[in-house]
A and B are shown apart, each in its own frame.
Chain A
Amino acid sequence: MIRTMTTASALALLAGAASAEGSLNIYNWGNYTSPEMIEKFEAEYDVDVTVTDYDSNDTALAKLKAGGHGFDIVVPSGNYVPIFIAEGLLMKSNPNEMENFSNMDPRWVDVEFDPGREYTVPWQWGTVGVSVNTAVYDGDINTAAVIFDPPEELKGKINVLPEMNDVMGMAIHYLGGEQCTGDREVLRQVRDKLVEAKPNWLSMGYSTIERLANEDIAASINWNGASMRARIDNDDIAFGYPQTGFSIWMDNAAIISDAQNVENAKLFLNFIMEPENAAMLSNFARYANGIQGSQEFMDETMAQAPEINTPEELADAGYISKNCPPEVQKIYSQIWTELTK
């Protein structure tokens, strides 16, 4: 097995990047990789692809750091990319020199977490806003107040994602701060606000699509794609973009520094920058992808969805989620423990 792999990669090196046989091991979030697209890649390059799942950036980080894992590609979120790079886990594979790089939306080329795209390629991106059942509450939903200062109708029917960075970010912006702020006065207010709001929440969990659709909850901090899927099942669900600020995230594919199938991995990065393939990803995972020209291959429901296409007038409130400095992170941890106890 090992011998065939080395032979394959040796051959690939000889033949150049145009053709590569052998295998590719992708380490990705669960239920996030379009099987259809994988099949297409396998057929096109005669590569055997294996997908293995993780459920959080932290698990992936711990695992790659420990070594001996056997993965070639990983898909960390933007705010974790600098950590992965700093820990020496990602290979500088220069996607910006690849053939399909010109398809990348210029908006996503010079991102703070990977300026000029030397390591990573966009996988999917989205926003964190609020989903509200408009049959229960018909007021303004473009505000984080539905979560932190909820109207009577919503009290006791609210869910909050158990994601520290997203929740802290939304609360800090709601109270007039900036993400990753170290201002103790603001943070004290954030803590008091969160602790005060918690009794109004029903739960802090992930499964929002189901519970919004079947009306167990009437509001939730939520990802836009999840909100769209809830709306498809239940017309009353709408997605609000808090005007005080909502975070934008992007998950990015990158080659792991000790990857064994580097050539195949490069082929794969180039492959997902092809509009048609990127659209396959979006049609499966239900988020936008950052590749220009992919819209025309996307499902009708996606191309039109208000959750995926941020309204012009609210777009400015979005901020790209970043990794907060450790000393700030410590305070956030304290607040979060206090909140979830």
Chain B
Amino acid sequence: MARPFEVTRQPGFSAIAIACFVLLYLPIVLLVIYSFNAGESISQWEGFSLRWYASAWENEQIQAATIRSVVIATGASLIATSAAVLAALATTRTAPWRGRTIVFALVNQPLMVPEIVTAVALLIFFSMIKVATGYTGLWYLILAHAAFCIPFAYMPVRARLQGMDLSLEQAGADLYGTPVKVFRHITLPQLWPGILAGAMLAFVISLDDVVITEFVKSAGQDTLPTYMLGQIRRTITPEINAISTALLAVSILLVTAFFFISRTRK
């Protein structure tokens, strides 16, 4: 019997995708392996040990930095995604209006300026506010992160919106749905994959930021990346691998749990 004709098949695509997954995970596997290294090196295997987990467990600085990273990334990606969705609604699927190009440029501006430049400028600007108000909390970092996360959240949402069918929303409006109701029940569900993609990008981008954080942070506000940057000159021990692996394990557990829960609910 002949194989059924698969509509979605494109020659070679699956192979590339599988190769892509393998390559994405190769470095991760490596860093997980070295988190169990008995030696002090992240590239020379000297036997199995849990010493770096023990040392990370005792290292308050690294733990505080890790938690701080996650808190900032969560806050910043939530804010950035909300702002980006609203902005995307205003700039997509409308008749061209004056200023649209300018808004588009503004939204994408954080992408176009190298981090160090924004970092130095923010250092000067925020320091003035810090001196004037006396407030030196985490919100400066969250705000700074939210700003450079906006374009990353905006792009997928916009891409999703661009091809979306207007007719459903018009039908909703014809049936006297208020704009808010139409958005909640019709636009939002269709938009969801774009929003999710945007939020995930924003989260990751915030989690990785070094340079802006380094310049904006006040006393006691190291994140995991700035903590690592401080070590680059000296030496990087598998302690970082250990904490990354632990973080990875926790997030995979959470994701799996979430996956199964949402599955059984369906």
Interface residues, chain A, with chain B CB atoms under 8 Å away? 2, 25, 27, 29-32, 35, 50-55, 59, 62-63, 66-71, 206-207, 209-210, 213-214, 226, 229, 233, 285
Judged by DSSP, the binding face of A is mixed
User: Is the Cβ of B235 less than 8 Å from the Cβ of A53?
Assistant: no
- A contact residues around B221 at 8 Å (CB): 52
- Partner of A30 from the list B43, B129, B215, B229 (CB cut-off 8 Å) is B229
User: Is the Cβ of A214 less than 8 Å from the Cβ of B233?
Assistant: no
Given contact pairs A59-B214, A62-B120, A63-B123, A50 touches B231 in the complex (Cβ within 8 A): no
Q: Does B217 reach chain A (CB closer than 8 Å)?
A: yes
- B contact residues around A32 at 8 Å (CB): 230, 234
Apart from A53-B230, A68-B126, what 10 extra A-B contacts exist at CB < 8 Å?
A: A29-B230, A30-B233, A32-B234, A53-B229, A66-B123, A67-B128, A68-B130, A68-B218, A71-B219, A285-B234
Cα-based distance from A185 to B43 in the complex (angstroms): 44
- B contact residues around A214 at 8 Å (CB): 41, 43-44
- A contact residues around B169 at 8 Å (CB): none
- Partner of A35 from the list B59, B126, B215, B229 (CB cut-off 8 Å) is B59
- B contact residues around A213 at 8 Å (CB): 41, 44
User: Is the Cβ of B127 less than 8 Å from the Cβ of A51?
Assistant: no
- A contact residues around B217 at 8 Å (CB): 52
Q: Does B78 reach chain A (CB closer than 8 Å)?
A: no
Pairs A–B under 8 Å by Cβ, sample size 26? A2-B134, A27-B219, A30-B228, A30-B229, A30-B230, A30-B232, A30-B234, A31-B231, A50-B220, A51-B61, A52-B221, A53-B227, A53-B231, A54-B214, A54-B230, A55-B229, A55-B232, A59-B215, A62-B215, A66-B124, A67-B130, A68-B218, A207-B235, A210-B43, A213-B41, A229-B40
Q: Does B131 reach chain A (CB closer than 8 Å)?
A: yes
- B contact residues around A50 at 8 Å (CB): 219-220
